[in-house]
Structure 1
Amino acid sequence: MYQYDFTEPENFLILTGLMFLIVVFRYTFVAGIFYLVFYIIDPKSTRSRKIFQTSASKEQLKKEIFWSTFTSILFALAGAGMVVLWQLGHTAIYEYIDQYGWWWIPISFLIATFIHETYYYWLHRWMHKPKVYRLIHKTHHDSHITSPWTSFSFHPGEGVLQSLIIPVIVLFLPMHYWTIVTLLTFMTLTSAINHSNVEIYPKGFYKHWLGKWLIGATHHSLHHTQYRYNFGLYFTFWDKWMKTESAKYEGNFEKHTN
């Protein structure tokens, strides 16, 4: 990694380009698999689990892919900036697992997801203030019926705000670089799950000790229709603590998993 000086403009542009390809590949691969399975190969098998029986229009899908590509550029810039900060010694990223031990890998992952969840929940609520909503968040909500391609469909302003948190976390939280890669992959995967318009979790999962804390398509679809509820990213705990979880969630989950 350190054989290249990424503070050099040319190397930084190359790094950003590589980061862009990685982000686009991850987004396309994950969203593409969900779309292929749920909408192309065997849509009948998931019909009873669809939140909305009507699928997103082709025009909407084109807009989602356009905005997601733009978001990928912003995420790539943030990722390249994070690498530069690491190279300059300004982050807590480490290379060798024995520096903190294997036990720290899952702990740092959980701490990072908690921080990310907290940041996103309150950012999300702020973005629903009328003036802010119209300015930057409406682009995402234009997808009333979500699809796996909705997951990165953000206005550039929202894309910037979402791209900042991971670089900030690694400034102070020691994380192995593969833990960061895992976190970013987890973010992409869960976003595709939440926007897929198909409930993938089993019947009664919302009552399970783990399931009651995880957000799925039923949970997040209610946010896209009700707006004032279900602001979480990965987990439901902030919605539960702040009384912003939709009262329709459990009933809808039962309905979509019969």
Structure 2
Amino acid sequence: MIQITNPATFWLTGLLFFIAIFGRYVLFSLLFWWLFNVSMKDQFAHRAVQTRPRKPGQDWREIGWSVLTSLIFTAIALAVIVAYQKGYTQIYTAAQTYPLWWYPISILSVLFIHETYYYWLHRWMHKPGVYRWVHKTHHDSITTSPWTAFSFHPLESTLQAIVIPALTFVLPLHISAVGIILMIMTFSSAVNHLNTEIYPRDFDHHWLGRWLIGATHHGLHHAQFRFNYGLYFTFWDKWMKTESPDFHRLFKEKTKSALGVEDKKG
């Protein structure tokens, strides 16, 4: 891990982290936008979850909020690095420090805890007294796109950003596992906000697919507000009966071909 030894190194590290965080967001967003709005537009046009047009200038507003989000993520990352250097975190760099089986378990544990934290945080953010101050910025994007993935009010960005860093103080995590978790987070957020269903027919009933959130699932949250609060997975929505009753119907509709014939599986 980078060693911060003086103010110049601190600010250079911050700049590098901002480039990495914001660049990762731009890379995933641009890639998905190009794939499904340019390269394969005709094949996926019928899979748009929301058909209402996006607001004028919405892309740039979302990118602007995403810059602020990336700055907040950078500041918290720097705090974790300083804490690591002082020996406060459980991050390790030598693979043999813990048994090999712990590596995937640690990643799955963080994803489960993150999902649980986010689900209940998300429901809290929809309370009337909280919503306008914390979550409304994100919901200004009713018709989403990959650019919506990091479009949060700074208060929400901070609340979202603290959980994974907090876990580094209590859970042993290899530095590469932290990187994988952050890549999964960015990838999932881009897919969920794509507004184009990319999963195949019947994937919502597949043994794996029924637990994964995609564009239809999260698009309904932006349209209906009262359902589908999950981040990566659907299990809390299923357990708490907050999954939209329209989800399976809409998923089936969006995974039909442009000619009205259901797309082939896989």
1:47 partner SS: helix
* Counterpart for residue 221 of structure 1: 219
* Counterpart for residue 130 of structure 2: 132
Residues 80, 165 of structure 2: 8 Å contact kept: yes
Q: Which amino acid aligns with 2:243?
A: E
Task: Decide which of 160, 164, 182 is 2:162's aligned counterpart.
Answer: 164
Greater mean deviation of Cα atoms: 35-44 or 203-212: 35-44
CA–CA separation in structure 2 for the residues paired with 1:55 and 1:34: 18
CA–CA separation in structure 2 for the residues paired with 1:228 and 1:54: 19
CA–CA separation in structure 2 for the residues paired with 1:130 and 1:69: 27
Residues 4, 82 of structure 2: 8 Å contact kept: no
Residues 2, 87 of structure 1: 8 Å contact kept: no
Shift of the 3–69 alpha-carbon distance from structure 1 to 2, 3 Å rule, reads closer
Identical amino acids, percent of aligned pairs: 49
Residues 47, 53 of structure 1: 8 Å contact kept: no
Task: Decide which of 165, 180, 189 is 2:178's aligned counterpart.
Answer: 180
Q: Please state how far the C-alpha of 1:3 moved relative to its aligned partner.
A: 4.9
Q: Which amino acid aligns with 1:257?
A: T
Residue 93 of structure 1 pairs with residue 91 of structure 2: yes
1:199 partner SS: coil
Residues 61, 149 of structure 1: 8 Å contact kept: yes
Q: Please state how far the C-alpha of 1:103 moved relative to its aligned partner.
A: 1.4
Q: Please state how far the C-alpha of 1:105 moved relative to its aligned partner.
A: 1.1
Shift of the 47–91 alpha-carbon distance from structure 1 to 2, 3 Å rule, reads same
Whose helix proportion is higher, 1 or 2?
1
Task: Decide which of 194, 197, 200 is 1:199's aligned counterpart.
Answer: 197
CA–CA separation in structure 2 for the residues paired with 1:26 and 1:215: 21
Q: Which amino acid aligns with 1:74?
A: I
* Counterpart for residue 44 of structure 1: 42
Task: Decide which of 120, 145, 148 is 1:147's aligned counterpart.
Answer: 145
Residue 252 of structure 1 pairs with residue 250 of structure 2: yes
Q: Please state how far the C-alpha of 1:58 moved relative to its aligned partner.
A: 4.5
Q: Which amino acid aligns with 2:227?
A: Y
* Counterpart for residue 17 of structure 1: 15
CA–CA separation in structure 1 for the residues paired with 2:53 and 2:209: 26
1:171 partner SS: coil
Flag structure 1 segments of 5+ consecutive residues without an equivalent: none
Task: Decide which of 70, 73, 90 is 1:72's aligned counterpart.
Answer: 70
Aligned residues: CA RMSD: 1.2
* Count of aligned residue pairs for this structure pair: 256
2:204 partner SS: helix
Flag structure 2 segments of 5+ consecutive residues without an equivalent: 257-266
Residues 192, 219 of structure 2: 8 Å contact kept: yes
CA–CA separation in structure 1 for the residues paired with 2:222 and 2:45: 20
Q: Please state how far the C-alpha of 1:138 moved relative to its aligned partner.
A: 0.3
Shift of the 54–2 alpha-carbon distance from structure 1 to 2, 3 Å rule, reads closer
* Counterpart for residue 259 of structure 2: none
